[in-house]
Structure 1
Amino acid sequence: MYNKIVAALFAFGSINMAHADDQSDLYLQLGHPVLETELSSASGLVADGNKLYAVGDDSPWLFTLNKQLNIKDKYVIKEYPLREDGKRIQKSVKPDYEAMAMVEYELEDWFLVLGSGSKAEVREWAYMISKDQSQSIESDLSALYAQLYAAGGFYGDQELNIEGLAIAKDKAFIFNRGNSGGNLIFILDKAELVAYVTNQIQQVSKIDTYKVTLPTVQGFEAGLSGGEFWTDAESLVYTASVEATGDAYNDGEILGSFIGLLPLEAFEEGTDIDLTQGAVPLLDYYGKPIITKVESVAITKSDDDDIKGVLVSDNDNGTSEFFKFRLFK
């Protein structure tokens, strides 16, 4: 069903090849990691012109970075008690910002930031922030997340773990990381999602749910972690990472990360989507997995068969890593 992906990974200035079973070739060129110590636990990333905007899952700020991946500014999304390091929110109250995208609201571009939903009340909040950062709107996601919980067939102690958000045409794609209930993609009407997070409606009218299967590493299935819409290719660019953990609250040992493509037409073929053969691992020069937890992807330039962008990773230690990449056919 899906294209074979051949990845040329330019790690540490050298080329390494990874292969997946398919009919066409796709190449990934990966740059050196850029360590950022001020931005902890990066989890959401948006590109706009020559700037990047990022959030961390335990950081109270929306960060602005330049094209050299240097932080130039930061905006307080909401005040929270911080740890002794002065940059990380105390875990018991962290809102767990995990997904971010740019949406249009009242004819202007706004950043939409979603909490993961992995802890009731504390992580069930959304923030709409105007691009000039002069306005913000807070909204309670508990009712929407209850709808997602039901639509995803969750039960018992299983928890949502919303990790990614991609906007494509008139749809919003919400990615659930499968470490406590399965890798799922929820599709909502974009206008309804915006209406919900701007407190105009109390529920959305329809949610379509798709179950995604990803590769395993040491017995642990990769979990969806981010997504972006590649307009020219009519596809979602997704990221996934592998942690040795079985719940949505605690971190586990990082085992590696993947990137791949998901054509929009795949959603017309059924509710089960198998990405085990199309996911490209991030490898070093020696062909070994780069031990990094990729959390989000942003496209900075694109055409029909070539995109450039940035991947961002959460190191689970108060730092983050950025990787410039090129994905081309």
Structure 2
Amino acid sequence: MQRSILTLCISALFSGVVSAQAFTLEFSNRTTIQDFPSASGVVVEQSKIYAVGDDSPWFHQLNPDFSIADKALINDYPVGDNGRIIKKVKPDFEALDVVSVHDQPAFVMLGSGSKLDVREWAIVISKDRETKIERSLKPLYKTLRQAAGYSADQEINIEGLASSEDAAFIINRGNGGSNVIFEIDLDDFQDYLEGDDELLQDVKAYHVNLPVVEGFEAGLSGAEYWKDTKSLVVTASIEATGDAYNDGEILGSFVGVVPLNDLSTSRTIDLTDNLVSLMENNQRVITKVESVAFTSEDSQKVSGVLASDNDDGTSEFFNFTLSK
């Protein structure tokens, strides 16, 4: 199987099959894109793949082979000679989903919140590109800290966004505080993005325990709603770092499933034995999976795309299928 080399896109093709509990993960078409830095969020909308990078000023549309089909400037951020947004001012867009805003489907990008003011912004771009909203997340992130019970020295580090029929789920990576899945009424979240509300009163916080590798706990990095099973498919990765600002050595990545019923019955979710590690030849695949999106789903399996940021100015993408 071969790939065309487009826009300096280099494909390394392999496949793997690994299992955990009742799920099997198959992945293939590991593809490195040289001129798309730091992939952090991916979504599939009407069979088209869209992605953002945490220090890229561009909103990318990808072809099925993960070559770049198109890109649009998000904002005129200052960039270095390498084309990446300068770290001290980067908005750090880590979460991406499609949410109805002003009754129109829109791409919603959330900053991580790991640096006050600079990384506390949302960008909302309507699918028809006619509307663009820049929304401060400072009040929302203050509410999230309170809901999680964080102390003054614990940091928000938002990495994922997913939405069900009636709720938005905001995913926090636990290398500054703890791994948390936040649940917000979807209508309230939409009102906040539209500027109709400044405060969200009813935010639920579910703390999540994840596997530990070489003394470092995995951190949640993305999520997508699996409608047919009323579950979240979550991604997690492990970096050898103890804070939300600096990168560390990449130690591997995981995919797992969280039934929404588990969220409703407990405020602490234990996934230490329920995640599937990306493995090849009995070795962890050294990639930092940041996001997940679906191309197809039914009650038995879901297929789609995994996006990775490997902290070297490039991005990696995989095809995957997770099945019962």
Q: Which residue of 1 aligns with 2:50?
A: 53
Q: What does 1:78-89 align with in structure 2 at a 5 Å threshold?
A: 78-85=75-82, 87-89=83-85
Secondary structure of the 1:31 match is strand
Q: What does 1:1-329 align with in structure 2 at a 5 Å threshold?
A: 13=14, 15-18=16-19, 20=20, 22=21, 25-85=22-82, 87-284=83-280, 286-329=281-324
Displacement of 1:214 after TM fit? 0.5
Displacement of 1:171 after TM fit? 0.3
Displacement of 1:273 after TM fit? 0.3
- C-alpha separation between the residues in 2 aligned to 1:170 and 1:138? 23
- C-alpha separation between the residues in 2 aligned to 1:34 and 1:203? 41
Displacement of 1:232 after TM fit? 0.5
CA contact (8 A) 1:220 1:244 kept: yes
- C-alpha separation between the residues in 2 aligned to 1:34 and 1:16? 17
Tell me which amino acid in the other structure corresponds to 1:54: A
Tell me which amino acid in the other structure corresponds to 2:300: D
CA contact (8 A) 1:46 1:53 kept: yes
Secondary structure of the 2:283 match is coil
> What does the per-residue CA deviation read over 1:1-47, in whole Å, with 9 as the maximum and x for residues that have no partner?
xxxxxxxxxx96465544x4x4xx32111003111112110001110
Structure 2: gaps of 5 or more residues: 1-11
CA contact (8 A) 2:307 2:317 kept: yes
Cα distance change, pair 16–173 in 1 and its aligned pair in 2 (3 A): closer
How many pairs were matched up?
313
CA contact (8 A) 1:127 1:197 kept: no
Bigger shift: residues 237-246 or 260-269: 260-269
Q: Which residue of 2 aligns with 1:7?
A: none
CA contact (8 A) 2:154 2:177 kept: yes
CA contact (8 A) 1:44 1:295 kept: yes
Secondary structure of the 2:228 match is coil
Tell me which amino acid in the other structure corresponds to 2:218: A
TM-score by length of 1: 0.92
Runs of 4+ in 1 over 3 A off after TM superposition: 11-18
Secondary structure of the 1:32 match is strand
- C-alpha separation between the residues in 2 aligned to 1:328 and 1:228? 15
CA contact (8 A) 2:109 2:122 kept: yes
Tell me which amino acid in the other structure corresponds to 1:53: Y
- C-alpha separation between the residues in 2 aligned to 1:14 and 1:121? 42
- C-alpha separation between the residues in 1 aligned to 2:58 and 2:187? 26
- C-alpha separation between the residues in 2 aligned to 1:230 and 1:241? 20
Bigger shift: residues 145-154 or 309-318: 145-154
- C-alpha separation between the residues in 2 aligned to 1:132 and 1:69? 22
Tell me which amino acid in the other structure corresponds to 1:135: T
Secondary structure of the 2:208 match is strand
Displacement of 1:199 after TM fit? 1.2
> What does the per-residue CA deviation read over 1:118-160, in whole Å, with 9 as the maximum and x for residues that have no partner?
0000000001101122321001111111111111111132210
Tell me which amino acid in the other structure corresponds to 2:304: G
Displacement of 1:108 after TM fit? 1.7
CA contact (8 A) 1:17 1:287 kept: no
Tell me which amino acid in the other structure corresponds to 2:88: S
Tell me which amino acid in the other structure corresponds to 1:178: G
Tell me which amino acid in the other structure corresponds to 2:72: Y
CA contact (8 A) 1:43 1:54 kept: yes
- C-alpha separation between the residues in 2 aligned to 1:69 and 1:114? 23
Tell me which amino acid in the other structure corresponds to 2:107: F
